[in-house]
Chains A and B, each alone.
Chain A
Amino acid sequence: MEGLEHILTEHPFFAGFSAEHSQLVAGCARNHRFNAGEYLFREGGPANEFFLIRHGRVALEIVSPGQTPIVFETLGEGQIVGASWLVPPYRWMSDARAVALTRAIGVDAACLRNKCETDHHLGYEMMKRFLPILVQRLDATRLQLLDVYGKR
């Protein structure tokens, strides 16, 4: 898996990762290619993988019956798609659709969770990188919720 390991360490999410830890993660990783319109995952499906986008754009969307889907976030090159794999019951909370041709690395969630249980240092390094992303997404979502451009 040498090629994958190299690609992983180049990804901004893994900046500062030790070679040993990179190897561990690469051992759970595989390459993906999604054409425009293809879904990375669907709401309610098992969250058994998370994705590091190498190129392209992914839209997170939610559908209400009788309404067209609403896209509430897009993620692009260098960004991570998927956090529900960290939290039981490990189910996706929205659909993720490739807006354009998208290349990504998928990391097997169960594989990585087990390795983190065994190696807590790996676990802590993963958490340190994930949490800021989640906090930023939470802040962004709150700003969206405020509908600041709407009329008073």
Chain B
Amino acid sequence: MKILVPVKRVVDFNVKIRVKPDGSGVDLQNVKMSMNPFDEIAVEEALRLKEAGKAEEVVVVSIGPAKAEETLRTALAMGADRAILVETDDAVEPLAIAKILKGIVEAESPGLVILGKQAIDDDSNQTGQMLAALLGWGQGTFASKVELADGQVAVTREIDGGLQTVSVRLPAVITTDLRLNEPRYASLPNIMKAKKKPLEKTTPADFGVAIAARLRILKTEEPVRRIAGVKVGSVAELVDKLKTEAGVL
């Protein structure tokens, strides 16, 4: 079986982003970019399935600017076999990403697509579910455990009230949650090796997908900032302030 893992290049999770003063967006100049953390977890899971003999090949794909090649190389250095870059400088919405991924799935016929549950830049949490819908496949979202069996995959999901396990018929879409695994770091020799692994370049047009935005972004602004309050000297003072000043006890 082949596993396809879509990975997105996003602002590193440690970066505190800045909103442009003119409201036109977020300032991405000279900001550290990394693989979306949930996608690292997805790559790791695919590699573990391969190492357990349950999959033969791990293919990673990214839709984005030429620099997304770095993100793909990171995935290759972790151990993925091959990469596909769908190059575009446009901001592509989850629905169009899902349509492009559908095209790749049709060409590659993977048994499993493992995505992150959420890209930490747009915080959409949509693409995996949309891809499953477009393919007419089942979905195991927010996975904290994945077990492949004959013709199906058991996915334990992190839900609001605890954990739920569903059995999804293969081929299937999985999206990762934080507890699924701890992604490995790429070793230096593997980083060197990754430079020679195959990376194919395409464009959204190759899949016949119109990437025109459906959502018009009218404005991007700073959230209302909270200001630091006071330090209290003791538990007694804290309780007193909560009772008399804040009125919440």
Query: Is chain B found bound to chain A in the same assembly?
Result: no
The chain B residues found within 8 Å of chain A, CB to CB, are none
The chain A residues found within 8 Å of chain B, CB to CB, are none
